[in-house]
Amino acid sequence: MSETTATESRIEAAGVLVVLQASLSLIAGLSAIPFGIVEPGFRVLSVLTILVAVMMFWLARNLRRGRRWAWRWLVLVEVLSLTITVLLALLPIGTIRGPVPVLVNLVMPLAVLVLLATASRHAVPDRR
Amino acid sequence: MYDIATDHAPALSAAILLLAFSLVFVRLLRFLAGREALVPGHEGITGLLFIIDGLGFIALALGVSTTTWWRRPAALWLSATIVAYLVWVMAGWEAPDQVGIACKLIELVALGLVMRLKNPARTAWPRRLWRATAFPLLVSLTTIGIWIGGLAHPDALHAHAGAVLQPVASVATPEERVAAARLLADTKASLARYQDPAAAVAAGYKPGPVSDADPLLHFQNQANIGAVLDPDRPQALVYARTPVGLKLVGAMYQMPRVGQWGPDPGGPLTQWHQHEGICFSPLGFEFSFETPFWTCPVGSGSITTPPMLHVWIIDNGKSGPFAAELDKAARHQLTGRS
């Protein structure tokens, strides 16, 4: 497999994982809307979550198109997500319990980061 | 809400291993064939379908190395596996536990990769639109399907969405009935001094944040955190927010750590419960439910509470004095809200 093909495959795989994350965020945002009827804070959080999901769909699309800024923003978002998860996991509030939260909140962001890193920043064509 | 079924536990480590290899599709397909390890926990037609499913994945994994036509069958096979799980869950033939949900997550990743592998040639816009939306749509439908299945057919240990009950025997012995009555009487006697919220505050109890969604208000005492089912030192007092002020309705005993069930002197009558699958937002002390894939809205986090036991000192209707929640009729009578 040539280096270009391997890089493209990694970008494609990272894009799939980001779209999956965005879809899960979208459902989380939509499902919080009914709670917003009686809980004003969740009105804001649900809209914010839907916006984040839309942003991630957009970043995934632009990553596949070889935009370097999308690569940078995704690294930032995934590092932020991973950091928050690790910090919450350190608290005695049962944030990470079982395989599903481990896969979704730890393994998936880590996998995206590894894929983005190994795709080589310089190999991502810059089509601004 | 979504635990790990006992008969799924042996397959858990295999499922975790699966994701590590999910990024390389060929390897993933081969490992998916390992799902046959789940068969011993399933009987009849479900077990047979698991075997057929596993054989199909083995055949497709072999096809990846030897043929060029494997993509479409692989996409169909993965879609069929996901849809079959949703049918089983929504029909109530299988409870959606974490092992099943983790498998669906891995299958969704594999399906997404297969869908992207097909080289996007210059195609008409309907096909491009379908290509962009099909995968997110399938992820959303899978999430909603699992959610509906879990809510429509909760297992016996779910009091309601977000509360898991302590496993106990089905029938209380005469000794357990006496012990439960004693706990209720002792709690009532101890709480008599806290009818006035000011007395509770003077004793070290602090009111929790007021939420528009909850007509009950908990006063907690951090000094009692280490006490275990001590009627003289309950961890929290529960007041109802009535139109004429706060009315003491019960006590809440709580264990120090998540997953540490407390003593249940009354057996099934004094069944502890813990809240899980909850998204908690510190902004305004608000709650919503997690999705089956354990995701919460931005700005809120997943929490699981240590086990708790409520003792209601007022008439709690059919639910009884140790129910996880205040009876709807009693709640409505007190607060005017259901």
Average pLDDT over residues B321-336: 86
Q: Which residues of A touch B116 (CB under 8 A)?
A: 12-13, 15-16
**A43-57, B145-159, B213-227: the lowest-pLDDT one:** B145-159
**A44-48, B73-77, B234-238, B274-278: the lowest-pLDDT one:** B274-278
| Whether residues B261 and B200 fall in one domain | yes
The Cα A7–Cα A1 span in angstroms is 10
Q: Which residues of B touch A85 (CB under 8 A)?
A: none
Q: What pLDDT, on the 0 to 100 scale, is given for residue A5?
A: 77
Q: Would an 8 Å CB–CB cutoff place A1 in contact with chain B?
A: no
Q: Model's pTM, two decimal places?
A: 0.80
User: Are the beta carbons of A31 and B289 separated by less than 8 Å?
Assistant: yes
Question: Bridge partners of A16?
Answer: none
* Residue B251 parent element (H or E): strand B245-254
The Cα B287–Cα B12 span in angstroms is 30
Look at residues B112, B138, B153 and tell me which one is the last residue of a structural domain: B153
Instruction: Label residue B132 by pLDDT band (50, 70, 90).
Output: confident
Determine contact, residues A20/B108, Cβ cutoff 8 Å: yes
The Cα B168–Cα B290 span in angstroms is 26
Average pLDDT over residues A26-53: 92
Structure tokens at B209: 């944040």
Sign, CA dihedral A33-A58-A15-A94, equals: negative
| Whether residues B203 and B220 fall in one domain | yes
Instruction: Label residue A23 by pLDDT band (50, 70, 90).
Output: very high
Structure tokens at A128: 């601004």
Q: What pLDDT, on the 0 to 100 scale, is given for residue B23?
A: 43
Q: For chain B, what is the mean pLDDT?
A: 84
Average pLDDT over residues B144-160: 77
Determine contact, residues B255/B224, Cβ cutoff 8 Å: no
User: Are the beta carbons of A48 and B299 separated by less than 8 Å?
Assistant: yes
| Whether residues B182 and B144 fall in one domain | no
Instruction: Label residue B34 by pLDDT band (50, 70, 90).
Output: low
The count of structural domains within chain B is: 2
**B9-13, B77-81, B246-250, B317-321: the lowest-pLDDT one:** B9-13
Average pLDDT over residues A68-86: 94
What is the span of the domain harbouring residue B45? 36-153
User: Are the beta carbons of A35 and B12 separated by less than 8 Å?
Assistant: no
Q: How many CA atoms lie within 13 A of B303 on its CB side?
A: 19
Question: Bridge partners of B254?
Answer: B308
Q: How far is A66 from chain B (nearest CA, A)?
A: 15
Determine contact, residues B3/B98, Cβ cutoff 8 Å: yes
Q: Which residues of A touch B20 (CB under 8 A)?
A: 107
Provide φ and ψ at B326, rounded to 5°: -70, 135
User: Are the beta carbons of A42 and B288 separated by less than 8 Å?
Assistant: yes
Picking from B124, B41, B117, the residue whose alpha carbon sits closest to that of residue B73 is B117
* Inside any domain, residue B246: yes
| Whether residues B165 and B305 fall in one domain | yes
Q: Would an 8 Å CB–CB cutoff place A101 in contact with chain B?
A: yes
Look at residues B153, B169, B198 and tell me which one is the last residue of a structural domain: B153
B56 alpha carbon, distance to own chain's centre: 32
Hey, where are the domains in chain A? 3-118
Q: Which residues of B touch A94 (CB under 8 A)?
A: 258-259, 276, 302-305
| Whether residues B115 and B213 fall in one domain | no
Picking from B111, B98, B102, B95, the residue whose alpha carbon sits closest to that of residue B46 is B95
Q: Would an 8 Å CB–CB cutoff place A39 in contact with chain B?
A: yes
Average pLDDT over residues B261-273: 91
Could you tell me the end-to-end alpha-carbon distance of chain A, in angstroms, rounded to an integer? 27
User: Are the beta carbons of A95 and B299 separated by less than 8 Å?
Assistant: no
Structure tokens at B281: 């937002």
Picking from B101, B191, B210, the residue whose alpha carbon sits closest to that of residue B146 is B101
| Whether residues B308 and B167 fall in one domain | yes
Q: How far is A46 from chain B (nearest CA, A)?
A: 6
Q: How far is A55 from chain B (nearest CA, A)?
A: 13
Look at residues B95, B130, B153 and tell me which one is the last residue of a structural domain: B153
* Inside any domain, residue B31: no
The Cα B208–Cα B213 span in angstroms is 14
The Cα B238–Cα B313 span in angstroms is 10
The Cα A82–Cα A71 span in angstroms is 16
Contacts of B22 (CB under 8 A, 6+ apart): A111, B28, B106, B109, B110
pLDDT: which is higher, B25 or B123? B123
Provide φ and ψ at A16, rounded to 5°: -60, -45
Residue B268, pLDDT > 80, answer yes
Residue B238, pLDDT > 70, answer yes
Going by their DSSP bridges, the two strands B216-220 and B308-312 should be labelled as unpaired
User: Are the beta carbons of B297 and A49 separated by less than 8 Å?
Assistant: yes
The Cα B338–Cα B335 span in angstroms is 8
The per-residue DSSP string of B187-229 comes to HHHHHGGGSSHHHHHHTT-EE----TT-SEEEEE-GGGTT--S
B153 alpha carbon, distance to own chain's centre: 12
Instruction: Label residue B13 by pLDDT band (50, 70, 90).
Output: low
Percent of chain A, pLDDT > 70? 90
How many other β-carbons are positioned within 10 Å of the β-carbon of residue B330? Answer: 20
| Whether residues B40 and B106 fall in one domain | yes
Residue B188, pLDDT > 50, answer yes
pLDDT: which is higher, B336 or B265? B265
Average pLDDT over residues B212-241: 92
Instruction: Label residue B182 by pLDDT band (50, 70, 90).
Output: very high
Provide φ and ψ at B249, rounded to 5°: -120, -15
Q: Which residues of B touch A25 (CB under 8 A)?
A: 295, 298
Q: Which of A19, A21, A24 to mutate against chain B (most B CBs within 10 Å)?
A: A24
Structure tokens at B25: 């599709």
Q: Would an 8 Å CB–CB cutoff place A107 in contact with chain B?
A: yes
Q: Would an 8 Å CB–CB cutoff place A109 in contact with chain B?
A: no
* Inside any domain, residue B25: no
Burial of B226 (0-12, 13-18, 19+ CB in 10 A): exposed
Q: How far is CA B163 from CA A44, B12, B277, B295, B338, in A?
A: 26, 23, 8, 17, 18
